[in-house]
Amino acid sequence: MIRVLVAGLGQMGQSHALAYAKLPEFDLVGLVNRSDVALPEALAHLPIERDFDAALARHAPDMVAIATYSDSHAALAIKAMEAGAHVFVEKPLATSVADCEAVADTARRTGRKLMVGHILRHHPTWVALIQAARGLGGPYVFRLNLNQRSNGPAWDIHRALMQSTSPIVDCGVHYVDVMCQITDAAPYEVRGMGLRLSDEIAPEMYNYGHFQVLFTDGSCGWYEAGWGPMMSETAHFVKDVVSPGGAVSLRAPQGLGSADVEGHTAADHLVVAPTGADEDLRSFDDSPGHQGLCDLQAAAMARAIEEDHDLSRHVSDAVRAVAVCLAADESVRTGRPVRLTN
């Protein structure tokens, strides 16, 4: 069994911990969080420890799962790998490209497995979308968004996240990762815009952003993310890929609110529309919910460790996704396009 320590017990951290508690491949040995939180019954037998370094030394885990705020990801991941543990870290990998590269370098040097929480890589409908789009051939147009009309506790979570990262960075890495999996071409320029739509967030932060990415094969794409009670529920879910060969789209289940965690990854229909041919509607009635998707991701991490999978492409894609999204953030703040070095 893989002995795992979980650091960070917010929404995602608890979901990861529940997956490790459930799956037979894992032995959940400890939980770390800066404050007390209410735990579900499956986790309540474990005490919440405050000191990550002390917990790491005491438990000597085979693996550490990091679901803390983004600005602590790099330091905790490096400590864990230096201590001999494999690491699963929530997205984004880090809050600077230099820190991302430092984490990736540590994984290469120590030989530890490093997996980033790009959860869509484990979603059967999204996997099918990527395969279908690649089958049509490029160049591609990517049209992707994830807007959330968040109120109450959901808005509290978003305001806390915006103390360290913007919506287009926090969520954008998922969708840039999808773009990069469909086209193997390198992104070379990013253009962004954004707006602060609430007095409840810091003056230097914005809660709506939109960016465009240009790729060396001629592909281009956009991603849009807005958080807050002022956002619209209309057209909050757009997931289209278009090429000369046709279009591929996801359709979300009806009735889910945009800020519902189940709606962030939900997709139960794939529409494939080759140029000049009828649409092919494919149903995925067993599409996993949020916890089921976390379970699939945990199982993939177990296989990577036990079967010695090469995660180097996965890690390099994660670094690239952060580079694109940080360039978008820079473009929002400066009003100028940002050229990328590849």
Domain extents for the chain? 2-116, 124-292+322-339
Share of the chain above pLDDT 70, in %: 96
Q: Where are the alpha helices (DSSP H) in the chain?
A: 11-22, 52-59, 73-82, 97-110, 124-136, 152-161, 167-170, 172-182, 290-306, 312-334
For the chain, how many helices (H) and strands (E)? 10, 15
Backbone angles phi, psi at 124, to 5 degrees: -60, -35
- First vs last C-alpha separation in the chain: 39
CATH T-level topology, domain 2-116: Rossmann fold (3.40.50)
**What pTM did the predictor assign?**
0.91
The DSSP code for 140 is -
Q: Where are the alpha helices (DSSP H) in 162-255?
A: 167-170, 172-182
Residue with structure tokens 């960070």?
8
pLDDT of residue 263: 57
Q: What is the dihedral of CA 265, 98, 4, 304, to 10 degrees?
A: 70
Average per-residue pLDDT in the chain? 93
Q: pLDDT-derived band of residue 252, with 50, 70 and 90 as boundaries?
A: confident
Assess whether pLDDT exceeds 70 at residue 262: no
Distance between CA atoms of residues 27 and 61, nearest Å? 9
Distance of CA 331 to the CA centre of its chain: 21
Other Cβ atoms closer than 10 A to 196: 14
For the purposes of burial, counting CB atoms within 10 Å of the CB of 150, is it exposed (0-12), middle (13-18) or buried (19 or more)? buried
Least confident piece of the model among 16-25, 67-76, 258-267, 326-335: 258-267
Mean pLDDT throughout 55-69? Answer: 97
Distance between CA atoms of residues 94 and 295, nearest Å? 23
96 contacts: CB under 8 Å, gap ≥ 6: 74, 326
pLDDT in tens, 289-313: 889 999 999 999 999 999 999 999 9
Distance between CA atoms of residues 25 and 22, nearest Å? 9
Q: pLDDT-derived band of residue 265, with 50, 70 and 90 as boundaries?
A: low
CATH superfamily assigned to domain 124-292+322-339: Dihydrodipicolinate Reductase; domain 2 (3.30.360.10)
Residue with structure tokens 């199982």?
299
The DSSP code for 4 is E
Regarding beta strands 2-7 and 114-116, do their DSSP bridges make them parallel or antiparallel, or are they unpaired?
A: unpaired
Distance between CA atoms of residues 240 and 223, nearest Å? 11
The token pair that represents 288 in the structure block: 């996993």
Distance of CA 239 to the CA centre of its chain: 16
Evaluate the omega torsion of the peptide bond into residue 337 and state whether it is cis, within 30 degrees of 0: no
**DSSP letters spanning 27-62:** EEEEEE-SS-----TTTTTSPEES-HHHHHHHH--S
Bridge partners for 273 per DSSP = 247
Assess whether pLDDT exceeds 70 at residue 141: yes
Assess whether pLDDT exceeds 70 at residue 209: yes
The token pair that represents 300 in the structure block: 């993939």
Other Cβ atoms closer than 10 A to 53: 11
pLDDT in tens, 267-284: 778 999 999 999 998 888
The token pair that represents 20 in the structure block: 């490790």
* Helical (H) or strand (E) element with 147: none
Distance between CA atoms of residues 130 and 329, nearest Å? 26
Largest CA distance in the chain: 63
